[in-house]
Structure formats: structure tokens, C-alpha cells
Amino acid sequence: MATVKPFCLWWILLMAISYITSLVAKPDVYIVHMDLSAMPTPFRDHHSWYEATLSSIKDGMAGVATTTKASNLIYTYSSAIHGFAARLSPLELELLEQSPGFVSSTRDVPLKAHTTRTPDFLGLNPSFGAWPVSNYGEDVIIGLVDSGIWPESASFGDDGLAEVPKRWKGECVSGTNFSSTLCNRKLIGARFYSKGIMAYRPDIDFSMNSARDTEGHGTHTSSIAAGNYVKGASYFGYANGTARGMAPKARVAMYKALWGGSYVASDVIAAIDQAIVDAVDVLSLSLGNTASDFYNEPIAIASFAAMEKGIFVAASAGNDGPYVFTVHNDAPWLLTVASGSLDRELFGVVALGNGVSIAGASLSHGSSSLTRLPLVYMGDCSDTQELNKVGHKIIVCKGTAGYDDKFTPDDDIAQQIYNVRGAGVAGGIFLLYEGNNLDPYLQFSFPAVLMNYQQGEAILKYINGSHDPRATLKFPNMRIGTKPAPRVPIYSSRGPNNLDPYLQFSFPAVLMNYQQGEAILKYINGSHDPRATLKFPNMRIGTKPAPRVPIYSSRGPSAICPHVLKPDLIAPGSFVLGSWVPTSPVVDEGSRRLYNNFNIVYGTSMACAHAAGVAALLRAAHPEWSPAAIRSAMMTTADSLDNTLKPITELVDNEGPASPLAMGAGQLNPNKALDPGLVYDANAEDYVRLLCALNYTKKEIKKITRSSSKADCSNPLLDLNYPSFIAILHEDSSILPLNTKVVKEFSRTVTNVGEGMATYVAKLAPIDGFKLKVKPDRLVFKEKYQKLSFKLTLKGPRVVENGDVHGYLSWEEVGGKHVVRSPIVATSFLNDD
């Protein structure tokens, strides 16, 4: 015993030291939620209360070593949440949790960011519809939380705009290389938020601690949403025309919270908090985080407050497709926007010496064109020593890009482009084994064309059959009106057939698929002098099918609230032209950098900006509509068919019809959304009932609503009055046999926003294996704003093939023009699939 006691005491001492050390070490930034009703009366405002609370914690730690500074308050929040952000040690946090008014805390987390043709593609025109009726979104204020803005861009000129609306409460804040005088009647506000990221990453170095954009992302999204008219806009001759945003007369307010690829929740909340105070009408959030419970999700929490103030919030669905349960920003009070493609094709032309011309995907600039140069086939172009011997010729490479059919990384093409560029050859033709979706690969820094393998066969045949094969590369080229469009695209390198990220070549180059490549290989093999010409730029408009849903666009169902179908709709997100910052290269390949005032970018960030701009048009035309009514109008009038009048497809699963889990209600249609006939409305109380049904505690609900009085769970309800339907079939799987029929019932209420009396009848698009019934199947409205209710019943198997099936419910106006369509999804997907 004598030897045990000293050992025990020594162990206890070590544990105590370890515990104390853990409490005072490694301070982190926390977002703290406070109960404002608990603020003692002597304090003049919430800010002084928060400061005093933190000061008292410091006093309570007197004599305890700490690594935090005396003043560790980073932000105070008044609108988006009630609380503050502060840098706290574990011991300080522990003491804070015992303070009066403390509700909860969340460690600060990093988030990530998710044209000339798109207005026409969406049907916007000056003769009729959303543009003239809304006067182009005049005086609606769109706030964007993004990477900043380049105020000198022509897209933010204020020609044709009246004075700044008097209700505007924001300001233009000066900073590094950004004077408050740079704001005007278009860019009416600019603020920046960097305290959170500086606390989260003390080593970070800003070149521009101001609202000025150094990355391009915020400038691009702002110009899409509300850019003014800019004639002669293009990307080195591609997509040339007059650039303008969705709402050309709307005002722009930039809240910079994204810093060089790094951004944290505390800065984003501060930005949204201020945007609410400043009185924006629409918020565009092209950023997000991995799905988490709404009470821990900063965008969900902050946007709830915005919604309560009547602010419409659009948010990007994320770029983590094509897997299910990857959708971001899935809170039911948001419009969650996925991505679709355009009906525009940008390409280079390969003119073979035998007279055959083949179009290949490329964004090589016009000066990259090459004329009748020798063609050399180099296989997979992996031998850099042999490549270096080629000289001033056009190299043909054959490989793969993106992911294989199991979505496993398979990316030869990136290395091939790197090798060819480094060899200093004249240009390149890259033949791909898989697919036709080339967007992310097109911005070459040298003359190059991407082709599929079939196209490449013609080139190889020509090279092999000629003793002096030559070709001409011609740039730029463009087709408009490609069909079918829209489709859900395949972006980034996340899936098969996904070539989009490679197209911005820094040298003359094209990408072609295997079919195109066959003609090239046949030509090479059959010519003793194979030659080719590369021509840039080229464009086709009206290509079909369009839109399509890309692979990168995140899919539903929501991992947090699967009972509300997400995403809500798709908007153009591929090959989108928008303003860019002149200091950030549009193509950056080491020593080869290309700069331009406009850039072609892809992603749900771009789709979100389109939706935010359209929401501004609707807000201008219908200022009395709630955010939910605007969302409903956009969803129930969305197009489910592409420009071939067939179902929108997605570039996975053999390009089959897109599920609403990929495209929501369909492609955004601004003109139809202007006059939807009926809307599915909802308010904060409805959302709280949903949160209660999700078994959120009062404390958790209070984090979202900022008030205990709003956390009334006396009538919880999962069945939100939403303009879409999703039946989760597996909920009772533990107690029901596999062959059991499942019955799901949905209740909805629609509001007549048409003019006067109207009668609607229900039409159902059937779902294989399921019985659908609507009761009543006829709605008779006697006046505007009258509300009527109905029930939809779905009966079918507990498990469905491929995980989900879908149909539609349409309310069609008798003798009228309105068709109010909602998708219906039945899914047996599990969140661990």
C-alpha cells in the first residue's frame, strides 16, 4: 500500500495537469448563440452585453495561463442569429456555457464555393414576359455573399439606372485598393468580412483586404445575376455577343466573405447578418458545406432570419454529384439550385488534308489557329522524350478523362495535356475513349482540340494513310441551339464523359471523342503526309439536346430532411460567360497565363446566380409575394422537357431521363414563373412545425429561430406545404415484409394568384407500380388569393428498382393557360447507399 499511494497521487497529479493544459490550450473560433431576452437591463445593447460576458470570463480565469488575447470578440450578430463569434479556449468555453443567456455554441467551420446566351436560352426578351413586366428587375437589390467584386467591370456600369432606392441602408466600405467612390447606381454596396478567417488561419496573407475580388468568382456570379449590358463580350471570340445579367436593372450589393479559396462560417454569418440590416431583397449564396443538421448549419440558420424578413434566398446545390444524398443547402426555406447545360457549343475545327473537317471541343483562342501542319500520332503521349523531338507539328494523343463507369478516377488526359504543352509542339488533338461532355477541359493555353475516339479514328486513318499528313486548326467556333437542351451536365472530373475542365487550353488543342477520333486515325494511317488545320474559335447556337444535367451537380434526397424534395430546380451552370477580374488568369498553366475581362465557368454557383436574378424579376413584378410564393412560382412552371420536347436527360446512366433528385422540378422558366396561376405558400410557423417533426429539441429550434416563443411543437408536421412530393418508402423497413404495399398521403394548400375566378383539374403522370389519387381532383376558385386544399395519395411497393421512380401532378386551368406542375418521387434510397 505504501508504494501504491504515491503512484496514485502522482497519476492524479498528471491527469490534473493534463486536464488543465487541455483547457487552456488550442483556442478555437466559436459561433455562440445567446438568448437576447436574458440580457440584463443595465446594458444599452447586445454588443456591450457580449463584451461584458467575455470580460467576466477573463476575470474568472485570473491566474490561469491562457493563449487567447484579452479581447477575443470577433463579430456580434443581431439579425441572422442572436450571438457572437469569439476565439475561446476550452476553459473559456466551459465558463461561457455557465453564463446567463447562453444557448449553444458551434466551432467555426470552413465552407466552399460551389452570359451572352443564357437570357435567350431561358426565354428572356424585351418584347414580352418577365423583362418588360418587371422593368428588368428595376430597383430590386440583390446581395451576394462571395469573393468580392471588380467594380470597374463594364457589367457594373450604371448607365440607364435611376438613383439608388431610398430604402437602401447599406454602404460602400473602403479597403485595400477599393475606395468607397467606386460604388455607383449599379453597385450600391460593398463590404468585406475577414476577421473570422484571420482568427481561423492566423497565418493567412491577404493581398486585398477589401471588397475587391482577386479570384473572379464573385465578379462572375454578380454579372450573371444583375450585370448591365456589355457589347462585344466574349472569351477570346467564343460566346461573343452582348452580355447582360438576368435582372439588368437590379442593384448589386457585394458582401465579401470568401478569401482565396478559404472561408469560414463566422464571416458568412456576419455577411448575411449585415445584408438583412441593409435591406437587400434577394440573397445569392454560391457556397456551402457538407450537409448537417439545420441547427448546426450556418447558412440554414442565417437564411431563416432572412426569410422571416421577406428576403428571398437562393443557394447552390453543390458540385458533389452524381451520388445521391450529396445536395448542399437543403433547408426547406431556401431555393436549392442545381445545374443544367446550355444549347450552345463552343469548338475548334480540325480540317484534315483529305478535305474532311471534324469539330472538336476547345476554348483555344482565335490567334491559336494553325494551317496545314504535319500530324503525328503519339499514342498515349506518355513518352516525354519522344514528344520533345516532335517540333512544330500537331500531335494526336489517345486516352481517357474523368471517371470510369464506376466513378473511379481515370484521368489520363490531364497528364497528356501537361506533357504536350511542355514539349512545345504546335498543337494537339486529344482523343477520348469515353463520352461527349468536354466542358472542364476546354480552356487550352495552346492550339488544341478535344475529340471523342470515333472522331479520332478519322484523323488516325488519315495520318496512317498519308506520307505527309497535315491539318488546319480553326478557332473560335460556336453553335447555338444544340439539342437536346437542357440536360444535367457532367462537370469537373467527377464522372465518365466529363471533359469540361480541360477545354481552356493554353495552346492550340481540341478534345474529341473516340468516334470522332476514328476518322483522324484512319486518315493518319492511310496517308504518307498527313496534315491538318486547327481553326478557332467556333460556336453553334441551338444545339440539341439541351439542357442536360451534369455529373458534378449534387443530387438529392436531402440527407437531413429527406421529406422535402431537393434540389428544387436547375438553371444554366455550364459554359457560362461572365465578367472576370483582369488580375486573375482565365488559364493558368505555369509560365503560360491568359487574361481576359470575361471568363467561361461552370458549376452550381453559376446556376444559383441565374436563379437569384430571376427571383429579382419576380420580386419586382410581385412585391407582395412571400419568398415561398416566389420559389413555388419558379418550381411549378419549370420545364421538364428539353429543346427536343423530350424529358431532360442527365449525362450519367447512358444519358437516361433525369430524376427530380437531380433536376428538381426542371429547368427554370422566367416568363412562365411570372404568372404561375397557383402557388404553394409557407411561412416560418410551417417550417418550425417541420423542425418539430424532425424531433429537434426546443434548444435546437431556438438556434434557428432565435426565439423560444417560436419553438411551439404542439402540432409537428413533416408534410410541409411544398410544391413537390417525395415518398420515403423504407421508413418502416424493420417491421414490414419486403412485399408490403406502402401508402403515403400528402396534404397541400394552393393559393390562387391569377386574376379572379378559375377552375383547375388534376392530371397525373403515372408512376410504374404505383397508384396515384388526388382528392378533390377539381379546384374551383371564386376570387384571387383564395386558398383551397387537396390530398395526394400514393400506394406502391416498399422497394423500387434503381432507388427511385417519379411522375408529376399538374393542376391544369380549365379554359385557361396555367399549368401548375409538381414532381412526385418515390424512393427507397438509404442514406448509407
d(CA 435, CA 399) in angstroms, rounded, equals 12
Q: Is the dihedral of CA 32, 36, 38, 42 positive or negative?
A: positive
User: Distance between CA atoms of 660 and 521, rounded to whole angstroms?
Assistant: 41
Chain centroid to Cα 748, Å, comes to 29
CA dihedral defined by 181, 183, 188, 191, rounded to 10 degrees? -80
Cβ of 469: how many Cβ atoms within 10 Å?
Answer: 34
Cell 447599406 maps to which residue? Answer: 170
Contact between 516 and 456 (Cβ < 8 Å): yes
Quick one: 36 exposed, middle or buried, by C-beta within 10 A (0-12, 13-18, 19+)?
middle
DSSP code of residue 99: S
Strands 370-377 and 531-535: antiparallel
Alpha helices in 580-650 (DSSP H): 604-621, 627-636
CA distance 340 to 343: 10
Enumerate residues 6+ apart whose C-beta is below 8 A from 417.
428, 430, 441, 444, 448, 502, 505, 509
Q: What are the φ/ψ torsions at residue 27 (nearest 5 degrees)?
A: -65, 145
Q: Which three cell numbers stand for residue 488?
A: 444535367
CA nearest 256: which of 151, 112, 149? 149
Q: Give the integer Cα–Cα distance in Å for 509 and 107.
A: 47
Residue 557 DSSP SS3 = coil
How do 312-316 and 335-340 pair as beta strands? parallel
Question: What pairing do the DSSP bridges indicate for beta strands 344-352 and 538-543?
Answer: antiparallel
- Catalytic positions: 146, 217, 605
Residues 6+ positions from 404 with CB-CB distance below 8 Å: 410, 434, 496
Measure the N-to-C terminal CA separation of the chain; round to a whole number of Å.
Answer: 57
Which cell is 353 given?
Answer: 488534308
604: phi then psi, degrees, rounded to nearest 5? -70, -15
SS (H, E, C) 739-770: CCEEEEEEEEEEEECCCCCEEEEEEEECCCCC
Task: Report the candidate in 540, 606, 789, 588 with the shortest Cα–Cα distance to residue 680.
Answer: 789
Residue 509: partners with Cβ closer than 8 Å, 6 or more residues away? 348, 362, 364, 417, 420, 427, 428, 429, 430, 444, 446, 447, 448, 449, 450, 534
**Alpha-carbon distances, residue 601 vs 213, 342, 825 (angstroms):** 16, 12, 31
